[in-house]
Amino acid sequence: MLAVAAALGTEITPDEIREAALTEHRVDRGAGTARLRHNRAQRRTPLWCLNGFLALATPLIRSQRAVLAELSLKHRLAGMFGPKECVEAGGLMSYFSDQEDITRRAAAYIDKILKGAKPGDLPVEQASKYELVINLKTAKALGLTIPESLVQRADQVIE
């Protein structure tokens, strides 16, 4: 991801969240925010520089999805999430494997094992179906216009 960002002429500042709760304090002291404030003070970074984040699918992100969505709106940050539950809670967008499809495929895998197949002989499978979910209500609150071509490709649109 860092290499792609560099090739596009932008910068990504990784910042792991390991705390049990996301709070205003946590957002204000994150590495990316601290670096941005320093660069702004040195007049090296325009105010519009920090405009988004990527939240991966972790148990912490899932459990704190409503707080993360609220803080992203408060700080006017566009958030790209893994699980669609985060977008349903108020996040901007998600692109993630279809969990229902994975569950069905896992059941078929278990069925093969219960019928005598050796787990080591079964092929490793990857997700093959993904869902794009867009929250237009959040986009409007952030002052963003999502291209119609992207909205039409979405599996779910929240208005």
Q: Are residues 28 and 76 located together in one domain of the fold? A: no
Task: Please check whether residues 116 and 80 belong to one and the same domain.
Answer: yes
Query: SS3 for 100?
Result: helix
Report the number of distinct structural domains present in the chain: 2
pLDDT tens, the chain, 159 aa long: 778 778 877 777 766 666 655 555 445 444 455 555 555 455 444 444 457 777 887 787 788 888 888 888 887 888 888 888 989 999 999 999 888 898 999 999 999 999 999 999 999 888 889 999 999 999 999 899 999 999 999 999 999
Whether 36 and 104 map to the same domain: the answer is no
**Are 46 and 56 found together in one domain?**
no
User: Can you tell me the distance from the alpha carbon of 12 to that of 2, in angstroms, rounded to the nearest whole number?
Assistant: 6
Residue 149 CB partners (closer than 8 Å, separation 6+): none
- Alpha carbon distance 62, 80 (integer Å): 13
In terms of domains, do 113 and 132 share one? yes
Cβ–Cβ < 8 Å for 79, 69: yes
User: Do the beta carbons of residue 113 and residue 87 sit within 8 Å?
Assistant: no
77 with 95, same domain: the answer is: yes
pTM comes to: 0.71
Same domain, 119 and 56: yes
Residues β-bridged to residue 96:
131
Instruction: Tell me the β-bridge partners of 80.
Output: 54, 93
Looking at the fold, whether 96 and 129 belong to one and the same domain comes out as yes
Residues 94 and 145 in one domain: yes
Q: For 92-129, write each residue's pLDDT tens digit.
A: 999 998 888 989 999 999 999 999 999 999 998 888 89
End-to-end CA distance of the chain: 30
User: 20 and 80, same structural domain?
Assistant: no
Identify whether residues 147 and 78 lie together within a single domain. yes
Nearest Cα to 77, choosing from 33, 26, 132, 134?
Answer: 33
Structural domain harbouring 42: 1-50
The answer to whether residues 97 and 129 touch, using CB atoms and an 8 Å cutoff, is yes
Whether the CB-CB separation of 77 and 125 falls below 8 Å is answered with: no
Clarify whether residues 13 and 59 are in a common domain: no
Nearest-angstrom CA–CA distance, 91 and 22:
15
